[in-house]
Structure 1
């Protein structure tokens, strides 16, 4: 079984577990970083770790819900996992959450799945072989103007008076799962996603490969591309956009100092 088949089957299986636990009633608490977590997050993480490392015992492991083991940096390949990306949506019975799994080799994702169980959407990619939604090929949009584009982000941020120039009229929406946002850019339902706050490797690794194989561009707000399995697994910000849109957004935000 190749890596993509392995992680796709695992994501679908634990998605069913998450839905069952949600229907039975969740236990919810707050982590030390003041973000919510549920018993399903922990159970899905445990199931994935057992399932995937049983199949690939020589791979490393990096997950939002597992204490970080620095020995992962000694592994050429590792799984980068967010067991439930978009926990706030999940615990409030909204569909904007996903299981996100990437296989990273030498700092770059080579196989990826983002599975949104409630939406019955499974995004997959393998390096050099394109990106797919439920088995069908996907492609980023060809939109070349900000005006009237579809943007995923915080509407209040775009409306803030401190911008050097006002943003044009755009269709601005948000989704709780960062990975799912990037996949919506990858399949052309939205033209771009912007976040000017730090994101973790597990938020991005799988969706990074999916957007790349679909032809979208992903950088931080300074135009720097991402690598994974770093000692501190954080990215300062993100711009994910159709190729013609990315430089238009970068021009508006690259002057910002986030001090990350």
Structure 2
């Protein structure tokens, strides 16, 4: 079943790329969401509608969790399998005309991801994974890097992440890099282009669901900032931060993070 579900996600992601293309660099209408949740555009909504039509037509018994729409069908909360969708991950970058936005599509079964796709339509890069089947970029197998510790590691993170107050030891001597899309950051770690990604803020499931499986199938570990697995069946669709790296590096990151700093930074209201 994961392989068939993955094929469906790949098909839907390609369709999403066709929907988004006419909006890219053509000044789509956009506005800010309430509570400082960032921008949303007419392109986000068009892609969401496209994905919802394709995916729920094919799997009407699956639940629906999306950044841009809610599942109002009877019994939605009790479904064992659910789509977890970010129509455009990196909307702000999309609106600025950057190429590194992504469509992030995943399927969760009883809280664990069994199929996931991160598609960058402007680069034609399809990161994909099915549970137990490995991770791929288009047809190329992915393998996470083998860097052993934080010092000297290439880490995808926002600037405040490596600030001294977040770490029990002096701030790690890592090389910081940044990409706007969380899903793409996770895929880049799976590809081995970067050693780790870290975010120390509450993180929506739709930003990380697909990337979680892709990274895990490439040999990385994915945990929240406290070192726990993310339960994608939780009624609050947010993780307490996220850390992605090979097992040795991931353990070093968690050994050096400050519990005191995390508790204040990651309080989820």
- Relative to the length of structure 1, the TM-score reads 0.95
Q: CA deviation at 1:162?
A: 6.5
Match of 1:84 in 2: 88
Match of 1:16 in 2: 18
Q: 1:161 to 1:109 in 2, by over 3 A?
A: closer
2:204 is aligned with 1:200: yes
2:255 is aligned with 1:251: yes
Following superposition of structure 1 onto structure 2, how do residues 180-259 of structure 1 map, counting pairs within 5 Å? 180-255=184-259, 256-257=262-263, 258-259=266-267
From 33, 39, 42, the counterpart of 1:39: 42
Q: CA deviation at 1:250?
A: 0.3
- Relative to the length of structure 2, the TM-score reads 0.92
From 145, 151, 154, the counterpart of 1:147: 151
8 Å Cα contact 1:223/1:254 also seen in 2: no
CA–CA separation in structure 2 for the residues paired with 1:145 and 1:220: 18
8 Å Cα contact 2:167/2:258 also seen in 1: no
2:9 is aligned with 1:7: yes
Following superposition of structure 1 onto structure 2, how do residues 43-54 of structure 1 map, counting pairs within 5 Å? 43-54=46-57
Which blocks of at least 5 consecutive residues in structure 1 are unaligned? none
SS of the residue corresponding to residue 150 of structure 2 reads coil
SS of the residue corresponding to residue 236 of structure 1 reads strand
CA–CA separation in structure 1 for the residues paired with 2:139 and 2:22: 25
CA–CA separation in structure 2 for the residues paired with 1:143 and 1:193: 13
Q: CA deviation at 1:24?
A: 3.4
Q: CA deviation at 1:175?
A: 1.0
Instruction: Identify the range of structure 1 (49-58 vs 169-178) with the bigger mean alpha-carbon deviation.
Output: 169-178
From 96, 108, 112, the counterpart of 2:112: 108
Q: CA deviation at 1:226?
A: 0.9
2:169 is aligned with 1:165: yes
CA–CA separation in structure 2 for the residues paired with 1:98 and 1:223: 26
CA–CA separation in structure 2 for the residues paired with 1:56 and 1:162: 43
Deviation per residue, 1:193-236 (Å, 9 max, x gap): 11110011111111111111001011111111011132111111
- What is the total number of aligned residue pairs between the two structures? 260
SS of the residue corresponding to residue 24 of structure 1 reads coil
CA–CA separation in structure 2 for the residues paired with 1:77 and 1:162: 36
CA–CA separation in structure 2 for the residues paired with 1:254 and 1:211: 24
Q: 1:128 to 1:150 in 2, by over 3 A?
A: same
